[in-house]
């Protein structure tokens, strides 16, 4: 039986979605949700999604047509042109420009759901230069960051194209306006954060005088400029973060990329981009070492992570692999799904276990050196590890190098490279494999297996010698340690020692005396050995090469510059390739994530309770305590039954209600948004005094013992429309928290997967077959849960930690259905009941969700799915987390009416949803990923020559922009659940514990300089924190404990001027001094530089003075207290 066909799989998903949609429609028609139908728009293509988000009828059909008629890069401009020229109806000039710009940028960023075009471009205006000529201004906001830097820059190019269509002149900035940008950039870098690129003031001025449109925006940050204020053309004195990002990271930072696109589009006036070269900020990421996120490996310093090329079934797309024991020996600071920061090829990655890689090598306290390749061995020696001599391999996809347009780095010699050398030699020098096997005296089938399965099958030592001698290929790396680290002289002396003093013991191991020279040499090579008494024991595989070498005549070395590898190569007469080559800089980034998505503070229902609910915003408490409550909420009336309500649909008859508008100036009410008396803009909401009993009745009769239902202080949507109150009670009953759009979410780190074993995800063979998995990757019938099968493009493996959330969410949804007289949908009581059900997955920077199907669970805190699934969300797997929820939750409970009305309020919401993924309309990063199970010798030759990765297209096969069931991999994984499930950062509680564990690890790593690491911790974390906390304490605001009102200074009455509540500080003294002891301790324990010693001394003096002043202010002597004055004493 063949695997389920793609068409059958698509139909299965469509059928499920259709059924869920019908159920949601039915329950919504019976409830007082904002609409009688689900408010998620189901779409099947990028074109449909864009039409829905841009709100331009007919746009989707036209985009589809243009994709067939024009090269893809020309479609955005053609769409913009047709919108401007009125093909989609008449619009004002500014409306047409805004629609055209948003549509063009949406077409550029498949699958068209990125928030940047809609939320990042908030407005456009046609303004006047000093000479009265008209020019175009584009208003950017913070969400523009959700687009990539290239897309940000291209939005300006599109705006310029539209400007020309509209026959508008160029923007001519004044010196003051240019000065404003410069001031903003420096202020942003100082108070908000760094840009991806470092632009100089000269570069910024140079670019601003040549950009033909005004790149402006709304205020995105609470900081204001002090010098260039109140400029006529600038509507705010606050920092315009969105505009700054577009200029610095978009145009200046990616000037060369933008220029290439400009040339393809044939646009003039942008040649000046060639003169702009910004400096990337990315290297500084490696300098930031925080407590709990240790530095692990230093670039090209032996002992860290060794580069290895290839892809496993759970790596690629920015996810990298290390041996699971490498995770453990880092004191588990790396767990499955943890983020690491790298110096190449990209800047961030998620980490997963790949047990076919080289494991770590450690030195124990008794002097023994051990290759830690199993959990059993690790837990046996973990408390005895003194030094980590080698962290092991880090597996990086070739596609990641291509995606980052990086030069290849030389890898260390490994088994698959050896196999490629053998394969190349056989094909180049022999007519057939049979001829080659006869030459090496190894059976043909055996030689073929050695070439095809280098990671699971190794030649014997004698076979490795024969293959090297007779096929003229390098010696197998399994039997050679890191000889390239030593000199020929050291090798000569060592081998003579072995020859003179070595002997075989009863187990066949080499024994030599424990002498300093021998011990140091073995540690230099990372040769595993045991120290027993005054003897060193060397076992397989290292013993074989030593036996062979010591059995031969040991010639003198040629000169002092000769390396040990060249020396033993000349002794044996065969070629060796260094095992160590490129080592990467690696530090730990964010920990892996698998948590409930909650607002701050957590909320059960989007319903306002104002100050009545107290600090906890408990709606039940407020209603039971007060006869009436006052809340700012929508004021509406039902046109059918005349009922007064605050819902968009009447609770009695479910008719759509009408807004009652209120004038804030004269108090008049009316049925439209302009006051008929004073002409003021009116609001569809007001402060209503509501009877508590009427609200309690909405909960129904049975409270199920619930004592707390948390609401919100105030509503953020422009209509002030709340959720049905009873949903809050049900969520409280099932321990759920609502997100701002009405859904419940669970976040988990993204990990790609192209194949899995049913047993890894908790599936029986029968269940896997019922899900459509009939064949394994070798096209054999699925009979064993240990067989590997290729995952389907929208199937998802969720973290076990999400099971209780999903079960409770299913019970909440079933309860809502039964409350309205419908049958329950899920009926789920155990995790197996969730298998086969659909989820909606969404990334924070998008406006669209993707339908996925649950097929199993992983013990790790990650969400695993096909690369196409992640790319449809516009995600790679560099350590970020995305959210998911049950499909019915999105259909029943999501409403755009609940979303905040401010810029960015729509982000991270399922305004549209893709039922089926089209690989041609996803982010194209995946198409740089290699689709091979063997890496050819020609690739390793290119890597040794450090050629650009982009030159490899003719050497390898890559993933194509259409569905292919087979995405091959080069490195096997026995079990992707193997390794730490939670990182040390999450397990340990206090910063003291994290720091101690981090220092313990740093002291073990031979690849790092401990004093240098400590200096970075002081510089980038501790000193900055203490200084910042001191500044924050001295300049802090105060707040009311009751209503949370903020005060710049404490009122004279020492009470809140609004509610009379108690005033409390927002920064406490404990937060100022919490790191002081750490700083002093680190500076004295480690040999840090004089600069840091003096800095620490100055800070400790300040802390001492601060603590003394605080003590005297809070208490002090009785004499001091008696002389303390009150304000009234001066009256």
Query: In this model, does residue 1123 exceed pLDDT 60?
Result: no
Tokens 């990372």 belong to 526
Residue 352: burial class (beta carbons within 10 Å; 0-12, 13-18, 19+):
buried
Q: DSSP 3-state helix, strand, coil percentages of the chain (rounded to 5)?
A: 40, 15, 40
Instruction: Convert the pLDDT of each residue in 130-163 to its tens digit.
Output: 999 999 999 999 999 878 889 999 999 999 999 9
Instruction: Looking at the structure, give the CATH architecture of the domain made up of residues 1-38+738-754+791-922.
Output: Beta Barrel (2.40)
Instruction: Convert the pLDDT of each residue in 707-753 to its tens digit.
Output: 999 999 999 999 999 999 999 999 999 999 999 999 999 999 999 99
Which letter does DSSP use for residue 800 in this model? G
Structure-token pair, residue 232: 């006529």
Query: In this model, does residue 951 exceed pLDDT 80?
Result: yes
724 Cβ neighbours under 8 A, 6+ residues apart? 31, 32, 33, 605, 647, 698
Percent of the chain clearing pLDDT 70 (strictly above): 98
Query: In this model, does residue 1119 exceed pLDDT 60?
Result: no
pLDDT at 1117: 37
Q: Quote the crossing angle between the two packed helices 149-165 and 93-108, to the nearest 10°.
A: 140
Q: Which of 1093, 1015, 878, 1095 is nearest to 287 (CA)?
A: 1015
Instruction: Convert the pLDDT of each residue in 339-362 to its tens digit.
Output: 999 999 998 999 999 999 999 999
CA distance 941 to 410: 9
Q: Which of 1029, 1020, 1024 is nearest to 341 (CA)?
A: 1020
CA distance 135 to 128: 6
* Residue range 773-794: mean pLDDT, rounded: 97
Per residue in 49-80, is it b (16+ CB within 10 Å) or e — as a string?
A: bbbbbbebeebbebbeebbeeeeeeebbbbbb
CA distance 932 to 970: 7
Query: In this model, does residue 1124 exceed pLDDT 80?
Result: no
Q: Which of 1050, 1073, 1072, 1070 is nearest to 1062 (CA)?
A: 1050
Which letter does DSSP use for residue 877 in this model? -
CA distance 642 to 678: 27
* Residue range 944-963: mean pLDDT, rounded: 92
Quickly state the pLDDT bin for 1129 (edges 50, 70, 90).
Answer: low
What fold characterizes domain 413-478? Answer: 434 Repressor (Amino-terminal Domain) (1.10.260)
**In a 3-state reduction of DSSP, which class is residue 945?**
coil
Number of H helices, E strands in the chain: 37, 41
pLDDT at 1: 65
pLDDT at 93: 97
Instruction: Convert the pLDDT of each residue in 254-305 to its tens digit.
Output: 999 999 999 988 899 999 999 998 887 654 445 678 899 999 999 989 999 9
CA distance 29 to 38: 10
Do residues 548 and 390 lie in contact, with contact meaning Cβ atoms separated by under 8 Å? no
Do residues 295 and 328 lie in contact, with contact meaning Cβ atoms separated by under 8 Å? no
CA distance 154 to 882: 26
388 Cβ neighbours under 8 A, 6+ residues apart? 303, 329, 360, 361, 362, 363, 1004, 1005, 1006, 1007
pLDDT at 956: 95
Query: Pick the residue with more confidence: 210 or 1099?
Result: 210
CA distance 116 to 109: 9
Alpha helices in 599-677 (DSSP H): 619-625
CA distance 828 to 807: 6
Instruction: Convert the pLDDT of each residue in 80-120 to its tens digit.
Output: 999 999 999 999 999 999 999 999 999 998 888 999 999 99
List the single range of 809-818, 1050-1059, 1071-1080 with lowest mean pLDDT.
1071-1080
pLDDT at 281: 61
- H or E stretch at 1032: helix 1023-1034
Quickly state the pLDDT bin for 1120 (edges 50, 70, 90).
Answer: very low
Give residue limits of the domains in the chain: 1-38+738-754+791-922, 114-280, 282-412+581-592+931-969, 413-478, 480-579, 619-664+681-733, 1009-1130
874 Cβ neighbours under 8 A, 6+ residues apart? 109, 111, 113, 114, 843, 845, 846, 922, 923
CA distance 12 to 145: 37
CA distance 466 to 1099: 66
Percent of the chain clearing pLDDT 90 (strictly above): 81
Looking from the CA of 464 toward its CB, the CA atoms found within 13 Å total 23
pLDDT at 282: 52
- In whole angstroms, what separates CA 979 from the centre of its chain? 21
Residue 1094: burial class (beta carbons within 10 Å; 0-12, 13-18, 19+):
exposed
* Residue range 605-629: mean pLDDT, rounded: 92
Establish whether domains 1-38+738-754+791-922 and 282-412+581-592+931-969 are of one fold. yes
Query: Pick the residue with more confidence: 482 or 1118?
Result: 482
Instruction: Convert the pLDDT of each residue in 857-911 to its tens digit.
Output: 999 999 999 999 999 999 999 999 999 999 999 999 999 999 999 989 999 999 9
Do residues 523 and 508 lie in contact, with contact meaning Cβ atoms separated by under 8 Å? no
Instruction: Convert the pLDDT of each residue in 816-866 to its tens digit.
Output: 999 999 999 999 999 999 999 999 999 999 999 999 999 999 999 999 999
CATH of 282-412+581-592+931-969, one of 2.40.40.20, 3.40.50.10860, 1.10.1840.10, 2.120.10.30: 2.40.40.20
Alpha helices in 734-866 (DSSP H): 765-770, 803-819
Ramachandran sector of residue 881 (left: φ over 0; alpha: ψ -120 to 50; beta: rest): beta
Query: In this model, does residue 1122 exceed pLDDT 50?
Result: no
175 Cβ neighbours under 8 A, 6+ residues apart? none
Instruction: Convert the pLDDT of each residue in 166-192 to its tens digit.
Output: 999 999 999 999 999 999 999 999 999
Query: In this model, does residue 611 exceed pLDDT 90?
Result: no
Quickly state the pLDDT bin for 1043 (edges 50, 70, 90).
Answer: confident
CA distance 255 to 406: 17
How wide is the angle at C-alpha 406 spanned by C-alphas 404 and 411, nearest 5°?
120
């Amino acid at each position: 039986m063949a695997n389920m066909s793609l068409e059958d799989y698509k139909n299965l998903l469509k059928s499920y979605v259709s059924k869920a949609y019908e159920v949601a429609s039915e329950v919504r028609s019976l409830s007082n949700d904002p609409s009688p139908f689900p408010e998620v728009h189901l779409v099947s293509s990028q074109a449909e999604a864009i039409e829905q988000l841009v709100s331009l009828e007919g746009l989707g059909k036209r985009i589809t047509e243009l994709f067939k008629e024009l090269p893809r890069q020309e479609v955005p401009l053609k769409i913009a042109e047709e919108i401007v020229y009125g093909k989609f109806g008449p619009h004002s000039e500014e409306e047409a420009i805004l629609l055209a710009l948003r549509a063009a940028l949406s077409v550029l960023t498949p699958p068209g759901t990125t928030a940047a075009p809609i939320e990042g471009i908030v407005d456009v205006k046609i303004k006047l230069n000093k000479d009265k000529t008209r020019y175009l201004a584009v208003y950017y906001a913070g969400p523009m960051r959700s687009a990539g830097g290239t897309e940000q820059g291209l939005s300006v190019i599109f705006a310029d194209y539209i400007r020309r269509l509209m026959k508008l002149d160029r923007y001519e900035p004044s010196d003051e306006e240019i000065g404003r940008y410069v001031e903003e950039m420096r202020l942003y870098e100082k108070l908000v954060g760094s840009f991806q690129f470092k632009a100089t003031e000269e570069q910024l001025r140079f670019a601003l005088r040549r950009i033909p449109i005004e790149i402006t925006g709304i205020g995105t940050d609470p900081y204001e400029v002090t010098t260039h204020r109140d400029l006529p053309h600038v509507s705010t004195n606050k920092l315009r973060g969105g505009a700054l990002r577009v200029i610095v990271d978009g145009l200046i930072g990616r000037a060369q990329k933008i220029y290439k696109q400009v040339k393809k589009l044939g646009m003039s006036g942008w040649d000046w981009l060639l003169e702009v070269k910004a400096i990337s900020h990315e290297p500084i990421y490696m300098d930031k070492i925080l407590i709990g996120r240790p530095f692990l490996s230093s670039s090209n310093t032996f002992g860290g992570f060794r580069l290895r090329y290839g892809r496993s079934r759970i790596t690629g797309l920015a996810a990298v692999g290390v041996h699971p024991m490498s995770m453990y020996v880092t004191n588990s600071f790396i767990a499955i799904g943890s983020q690491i920061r790298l110096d190449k090829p990209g800047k961030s990655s998620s980490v997963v276990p790949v047990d076919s890689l080289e494991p770590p090598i450690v030195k124990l306290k008794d002097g023994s050196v051990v290759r830690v390749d199993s959990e059993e061995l690790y837990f046996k020696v973990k408390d005895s590890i003194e030094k980590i001599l080698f962290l092991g391999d880090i597996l990086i996809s070739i596609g990641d190098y291509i995606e980052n347009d990086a030069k290849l780095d030389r890898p260390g010699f490994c088994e698959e490279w050896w196999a490629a050398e053998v394969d190349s030699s056989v094909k180049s020098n022999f007519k057939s494999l049979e001829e080659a096997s006869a030459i090496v005296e190894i059976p043909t089938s055996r030689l073929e297996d050695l070439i095809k399965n280098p990671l699971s099958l190794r030649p014997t030592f004698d076979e490795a010698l024969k293959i090297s001698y007779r096929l003229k290929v390098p010696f197998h790396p399994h039997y050679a340690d890191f000889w390239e680290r030593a000199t020929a002289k050291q090798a000569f002396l060592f081998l003579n020692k072995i020859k003179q003093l070595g002997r075989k013991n009863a187990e066949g191991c080499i024994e030599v005396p424990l002498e300093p020279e021998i011990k140091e040499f073995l540690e230099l090579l990372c040769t595993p050995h045991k120290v027993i008494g005054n003897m060193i024991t060397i076992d397989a595989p290292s013993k074989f090469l030593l036996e062979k070498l010591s059995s031969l005549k040991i010639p003198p070395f040629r000169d002092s510059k000769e390396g040990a590898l060249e020396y033993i190569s000349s002794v044996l007469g065969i070629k060796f390739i260094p095992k160590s080559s490129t080592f990467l800089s690696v530090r730990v980034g964010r920990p892996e994530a698998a948590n409930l998505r909650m607002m701050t503070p957590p909320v059960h229902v989007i319903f306002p309770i104002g100050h009545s609910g107290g600090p906890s915003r408990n709606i039940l408490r407020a209603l039971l305590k007060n006869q009436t409550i006052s809340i700012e909420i929508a004021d509406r009336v039902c046109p059918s039954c005349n009922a007064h309500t605050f819902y968009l649909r009447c609770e009695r008859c479910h008719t759509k209600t009408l807004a009652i508008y209120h004038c804030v100036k004269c108090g008049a009410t009316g049925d439209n948004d302009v006051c008929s008396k004073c002409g003021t803009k009116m609001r569809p909401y007001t402060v209503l005094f509501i009877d508590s009993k009427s609200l309690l009745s909405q909960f129904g009769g049975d409270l199920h013992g619930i004592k707390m239902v948390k609401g919100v202080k105030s509503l953020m949507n422009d209509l002030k429309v709340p959720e049905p109150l009873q949903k809050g009670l049900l969520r409280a009953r099932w321990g759920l928290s609502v997100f701002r759009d009405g859904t419940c979410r669970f976040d988990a780190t993204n990990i790609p997967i192209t194949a899995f074993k049913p047993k890894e995800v908790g599936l029986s063979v029968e269940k896997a077959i019922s899900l459509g998995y009939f064949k394994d990757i070798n096209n054999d019938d699925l009979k064993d849960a240990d067989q590997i099968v290729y995952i389907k493009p929208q199937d998802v493996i969720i973290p076990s930690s999400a099971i209780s959330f999903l079960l409770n969410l299913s019970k909440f949804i079933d309860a809502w259905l039964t409350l309205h007289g419908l049958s329950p949908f899920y009926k789920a009581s155990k995790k197996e009941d969730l298998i086969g059900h659909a989820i909606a997955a969404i990334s924070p920077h998008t406006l669209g969700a993707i339908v996925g199907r649950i097929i199993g669970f992983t013990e790790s805190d990650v969400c695993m799915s096909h690369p196409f699934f992640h790319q449809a969300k516009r995600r790679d797997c560099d350590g970020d987390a995305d959210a998911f929820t049950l499909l019915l939750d999105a259909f029943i409970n999501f409403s755009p009416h609940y979303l905040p009305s401010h810029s960015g309020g729509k982000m991270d919401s399922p305004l549209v949803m893709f039922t089926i993924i089209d690989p041609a309309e996803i982010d194209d990063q995946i198409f740089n990923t290699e689709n091979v199970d063997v890496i050819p010798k020609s690739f390793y030759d290119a890597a040794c020559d450090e050629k650009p990765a982009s030159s490899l297209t003719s050497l390898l096969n890559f993933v194509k922009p259409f569905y292919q069931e087979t995405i091959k991999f080069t490195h096997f994984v026995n079990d992707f659940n193997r390794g730490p499930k939670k990182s040390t950062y999450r397990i340990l509680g206090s910063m003291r514990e994290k720091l101690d564990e981090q220092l313990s690890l740093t002291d073990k790593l031979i690849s790092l300089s401990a004093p240098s690491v400590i200096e970075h911790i002081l510089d980038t974390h501790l000193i900055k924190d203490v200084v910042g906390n001191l500044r924050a304490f001295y300049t802090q605001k105060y707040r009311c404990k009751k209503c949370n009102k903020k005060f710049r200074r404490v009122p004279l009455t020492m009470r809140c001027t609004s509610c009379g509540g108690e005033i409390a500080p927002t920064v406490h003294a404990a937060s100022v001094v919490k790191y002081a002891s750490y700083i002093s301790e680190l500076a004295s324990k480690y040999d840090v530089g004089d600069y840091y010693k003096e800095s620490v001394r100055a800070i400790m003096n300040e802390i001492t003075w601060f603590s003394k002043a605080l003590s005297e202010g809070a208490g002090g002597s009785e004499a001091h207290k008696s002389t303390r004055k009150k304000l009234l004493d001066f009256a």
